[in-house]
Structure 1
Amino acid sequence: MTGPDSSARRVVLVTGGSSGIGLATALRLARDGADLVLTARSVDALEAAARQCEAHGARVLVAPADVGDADAVDGAAEAALERFGRLDAVVHSAAALAYGRFEDVPREVFDAALTTTLLGTSNVCRTALRHFHATGRGRLVVVGSLLGSISTPYMSSYVTAKWGVHGLVRTLQIEARQTPGIEISLVAPGGVDTPVYRQAGTYLQRHGRPPPPVDPPEKVADAVVRCLERPSRERSVGLANGIVVAGFRLLPGVFDRLVTPLMRLGGIERVPVPDSPGNVLEPNGPGEAVHDRWNRWGGTRAVSPVVTPERAHPERSDDGPVGRDGPDGPPVDGGPR
């Protein structure tokens, strides 16, 4: 991926490249000598991400796009060809979600979250595979989630979408056996220290938070890059992922009894906030960054949190409802990215 000759530099399109795992992956690829096409909805956040990557020597094309818009995804790929002459790999990490009991999340918010996370994945995969088939080679890495293998309360939009994402990727992997030169990998993280939890919509009067153990996004980015180098059917990132999946599959009755109290204990903040669609319907560029504030065990580090003007936290309180189930928050899962 490195080398002084620009023709030897890998060209990678990264969706969700302005924040979290997507931005961490873009920065890792930039340091490794790749040239980048970054997509996301927020132009300002993309341009800030591009400057960070360029500081590591990458040539960067900013291609604003909502992955839920198939034409916009096609346009980003075409822009990559115009700028760099080829497209070697695609990393797809864009996603959206809203916390809340299924019936409490407004239909338009639920549908929009599915459009971004599930249909957006199908749009990106379709575009990537079309370009790869034209050249006979290419590598696609999709960022899934532990929540693509288990279920948890209050996250129906994300669980539904990620189960679909995992099913789609596995189908594409089987079909790719007939197309040598095209490789498809899935990376499934657990809890990750990114802003996605408090960028998400919420109808619990609480923000979500990553369940412990919480990994830095750079660890997931490393797994993504390893898949670009050595494709893998699925690469799990998270110390507890295997245990949680085993419990979900082998002891479903026990899992169902435990998952809600564990979700409240480890996956929802205690600070009350207004219900909001978050960034599901519209991007929130000022809230985008590589990290948020979470430490390894799901607590908060002594750093300034990401706070958006319209969703600033009211005075701290340990009282108040979470949906209809009482205080505290969600997953025993891998949480969103």
Structure 2
Amino acid sequence: MKSQNSLEKRSLRGKTVVVTGGTSGVGRAAVEAFAFEGCNIVIAARGQEALDETLKICKDLGVNAIAVSTDVSKAEEVDYLLKAAVQEFGRIDIWVNNAGVMASGKFEEIPMELHEQVVKTNLFGYMHGAYSVLPLFKEQNEGILINNVSIGGFMPAPYSAVYSATKFGIRGMMECLHGEISDYPDIHIANLYPQIQRSTGNMHSAKFSGLDFKIPPFASDPRDTADKIVQLAKEPQKDLFPDFKSRALVNLYEMFPKVIINTASAGMRLMMKLKNAPPDSGNVLEPSSEPHRIYGETILPVPGKKTKIALVAGLGLGLAFMLLKSRKSHQDIYLDD
């Protein structure tokens, strides 16, 4: 693995970057991060007001940028996005598939229209991005497609069945596309698997069945996740977990899948009863409302560095305890036999 100093020396200045879902959360953080690198920026999202705000940030940072109103669930709009980027800057070097929506609640209580739109935005949206940009990369003989997938590509999000299906689907699609570009040494597909973010994503998501929740304190900083997206642009790799927490959560689920999903689902059911909030379609069917920013609201104040270390240590001890308990149970069963 390259050192941080080595990565910093790899200049992206003058490279053209397209970021979908680039007006809030991790997307806006990524736009800012690439702007600080001196890239040409193409911001894509549905809401014009948020696009104008984010475009102004880029202009204030002194970089060339355009904003293109785009619904990634529509192939023709993604194709137009690509053409607008090429017309303005002549080429595309990096394409970041980031736009996504989420609907949480009891599967049968979420309207089918929302379920279908989650599939269209998340799975079809990433498909449309890849379908449009990979032929251009092949013409150029180079390019990097970065997919912000989430750990949902490895483990389900409780009471978010269709969202989970789209994330598993994105991961599967990109696994196959890796093989298709394997004879192009300078074309890369890089997948990022972050955990829940301290971004506006949760504030904008659809919630049903009484759900109304804020971001947990262990959520990751979207600016840190954006930095990992920039890292993938400088040093592409097939799969990347941006922090220890993301990798640990997936490892924990792989060892105790039933315990993890059942426990998390029980917690969500309790939250439904306690909150009993009205249904909220969020940004699934229409552009995100205010606030258009990077950070969302957390349940508790964001923990400091020492608290984070203690939480990670606690998670490690809990993982070790569950592993030992699981081994002991297997040994007891073996002895009984």
Return the offset for 1:8.
Answer: 5.8
| Equivalence for 1:281 | 285
- The Cα offsets for residues 137-194 of structure 1, whole Å up to 9 and x where unpaired, read as 1011000011110113211121111111111122212222122210110011102111
- The Cα offsets for residues 189-232 of structure 1, whole Å up to 9 and x where unpaired, read as 10211111121111122234344521111000011000000001
Equivalent position SS for 2:130: helix
Query: 1-side partners of 2:32 and 2:245: how far apart?
Result: 27
Equivalent position SS for 1:90: strand
Query: 2-side partners of 1:192 and 1:148: how far apart?
Result: 15
**Does the Cα contact within 8 Å between 1:89 and 1:140 map onto a contact in 2?**
yes
Query: 2-side partners of 1:151 and 1:8: how far apart?
Result: 38
**Among candidates 130, 137, 143, match of residue 135 of structure 2:** 130
Query: 1-side partners of 2:165 and 2:74: how far apart?
Result: 20
Do residues 31 (structure 1) and 36 (structure 2) align? Answer: yes
Query: 1-side partners of 2:273 and 2:166: how far apart?
Result: 23
Structure 2 unpaired stretches of 5+: 1-6, 303-337
Equivalent position SS for 2:96: strand
| Equivalence for 2:300 | 299
Return the offset for 1:268.
Answer: 7.8
Distance 1:81-1:268 versus aligned 2 partners, 3 A rule: farther
Which stretch has the larger CA shift, 272-281 or 25-34?
272-281
Return the offset for 1:115.
Answer: 0.4
Query: 1-side partners of 2:260 and 2:100: how far apart?
Result: 26
**Does the Cα contact within 8 Å between 1:30 and 1:36 map onto a contact in 2?**
yes
What does 1:126-165 correspond to in 2, within 5 Å? Answer: 126-165=131-170
What does 1:1-337 correspond to in 2, within 5 Å? Answer: 9-263=14-268, 272-294=276-298, 299-300=300-301
Query: 2-side partners of 1:20 and 1:69: how far apart?
Result: 22
Equivalent position SS for 1:207: coil
TM-score by length of 1: 0.81
TM-score by length of 2: 0.81
Q: What is the number of equivalent residue pairs in this alignment? A: 294
**Does the Cα contact within 8 Å between 1:209 and 1:268 map onto a contact in 2?**
no
Return the offset for 1:105.
Answer: 0.8
Q: CA RMSD in A?
A: 2.4
Structure 1 unpaired stretches of 5+: 302-337
Query: 1-side partners of 2:296 and 2:138: how far apart?
Result: 38
**Does the Cα contact within 8 Å between 2:35 and 2:58 map onto a contact in 1?**
yes
Distance 1:225-1:264 versus aligned 2 partners, 3 A rule: farther
Distance 1:274-1:238 versus aligned 2 partners, 3 A rule: farther
**Does the Cα contact within 8 Å between 2:103 and 2:115 map onto a contact in 1?**
yes
Return the offset for 1:53.
Answer: 1.5
Distance 1:269-1:290 versus aligned 2 partners, 3 A rule: farther
Query: 2-side partners of 1:147 and 1:269: how far apart?
Result: 25
| Equivalence for 1:330 | none
Larger fraction in helix: 2
Distance 1:269-1:51 versus aligned 2 partners, 3 A rule: farther
Query: 2-side partners of 1:117 and 1:226: how far apart?
Result: 23
Query: 2-side partners of 1:269 and 1:145: how far apart?
Result: 28
Return the offset for 1:264.
Answer: 5.8
Counterpart of 1:282 in structure 2: which amino acid?
E
Instruction: Show structure 1 runs of 4+ deviating over 4 A.
Output: 262-265, 267-272
Equivalent position SS for 1:281: coil
**Does the Cα contact within 8 Å between 2:204 and 2:289 map onto a contact in 1?**
no
Which stretch has the larger CA shift, 240-249 or 93-102?
240-249
**Does the Cα contact within 8 Å between 1:293 and 1:300 map onto a contact in 2?**
no
Distance 1:128-1:173 versus aligned 2 partners, 3 A rule: same
Distance 1:274-1:225 versus aligned 2 partners, 3 A rule: same
Query: 2-side partners of 1:237 and 1:208: how far apart?
Result: 24
Query: 2-side partners of 1:288 and 1:51: how far apart?
Result: 13
Return the offset for 1:70.
Answer: 0.6
Q: Determine what percentage of the aligned residue pairs are the same residue.
A: 27
